[in-house]
Amino acid sequence: MERKENRSENVKKGLLIAAGVTAAAGACALLSFSLTNFLLKEALDRKEPAVIRKAKKKIAGEAVGREILEQASAAAEELKQKCEETVQITAGYDGITLVGHWYPAEKPERVIVAMHGWRSSWNFDFGIISTFLHEKNCSLLLVEQRGQSDSASGGDYMGFGMIERFDALDWVNYAISEKAGDLPVYLAGVSMGAATVLMASGLTLPPQVHGIMADCGYTSAHMIWKHVMQNNLHLLYGLRGDLVAEICRRKIQMNPRDCTTTDALRKNLTPVLFIHGTDDHFVPISMTYDNYKACAAPKRLLVVPGAEHGMSYMVDRERYQAAMVKFWRDFDAYEVPQPQAE
């Protein structure tokens, strides 16, 4: 009798332990989902969660120095005052309104369609370099990326380049039809903007596009999210990556594993100038090396020692400017091969 009672007690204890383990696993799964969903809101949603603003340094893995920030902010305000013409187009992808800013050169030799980075702005990312570009007779079409909190362009979500690549093509077609005339057109981007123009290289670009300039671009949304979670936030990615992909598909109908810069660059025919700083903790320089290796078109590579994310121009303006001037010299008159009809 006593043995039966002991056995019954053991069964009860076992069931309680099993229930506790199941409950703990469920709680962990719920916590993991909640955290992942929260991080994807920061990555994709137009409205940025207020609490996450304080964690930007941790997400990026680095902080911008006050002096550089002040210079960039002053240059951004100056560029905003110089751009007197605001232009609009309709996105072919989903019909939203896209907004850009036209800054023409007096004696233009080329047109640059510029795409800014994640949770940044057209005038902040290109404010400092715009003076050099303008002096070198570049007319600038500075795009406000879709779905960003301070952007005048429409869209509820950012697409990490997966959607914006189609916007880049729309802007190129607008520039050719309305602004460029017979001038060569270049795509340029920083960070997410760089990934955007590199992903656009896999589309059929018009022959008027003579080159792409990509500063610190990543290889895919999947890989940059994995890097940030594992290396900057110190979170396990693993199964969380599947959850990230599912949330991404639900929000923007894109699989972050399927759309990569490397796949686009393998079939790209447009010359590319790749730029990256060695001390980038947000987008590792290894991603630019992967992009460079994948690129099937004529290519150039500028590596800037000591430069953090998006800071290559600030660290070594002389080499940066020289690389761009040589790129234009090589490809302003270049006849880009066209895809062969299948």
Q: What is the pLDDT of residues 245-303, one digit of tens each?
A: 888 999 999 999 999 999 999 999 999 999 999 999 999 999 999 999 999 999 999 99
Letter for the amino acid at 50? Answer: A
130, 79 contact by CB (below 8 A):
yes
Give the contacts of 65 (CB within 8 A, at least 6 positions apart).
Answer: none
Rounded-to-integer distance, Cα 45 and Cα 49, Å: 9
pLDDT for 262 equals 98
Q: How confident is the model at residue 37 (pLDDT cuts 50, 70, 90)?
A: confident
pLDDT of residue 24: 36
Q: What is the pLDDT of residue 84?
A: 84
| CATH class of the domain at 45-220+259-331 | alpha beta
Sign of the CA dihedral running 119, 262, 304, 299: negative
Q: What CA–CA distance (Å, rounded) separates 75 from 125?
A: 9
**Lowest mean pLDDT across 44-48, 81-85, 217-221, 291-295:** 44-48
pLDDT in tens, 264-276: 999 999 999 999 9
Q: What is the DSSP string of 181-229?
A: TTS-EEEEEETHHHHHHHHHTTS---TTEEEEEEES--SBHHHHHHHII
**What pLDDT is recorded for position 11?**
43
Per-residue pLDDT at 43: 84
What is the pLDDT of the chain when averaged over all its residues? 87
HEC profile of 92-153 = CCCCCEEEEEEECCCCCCEEEEEECCCCCCHHHHHHHHHHHHHHCCEEEEEEECCCCCCCCC
Is 219 in contact with 226 (CB distance < 8 Å)?
A: no
What predicted TM-score, i.e. pTM, was given to this entire model?
A: 0.87
* 253 three-class SS: coil
pLDDT tens for each residue of 302-337: 999 999 999 999 999 999 999 999 999 999 999 999
- The DSSP call for residue 302 is E
Contact criterion met (CB below 8 Å) for 185 and 176: yes
Instruction: Reply yes or no on whether the pLDDT at 28 is more than 50.
Output: no
pLDDT of residue 36: 73
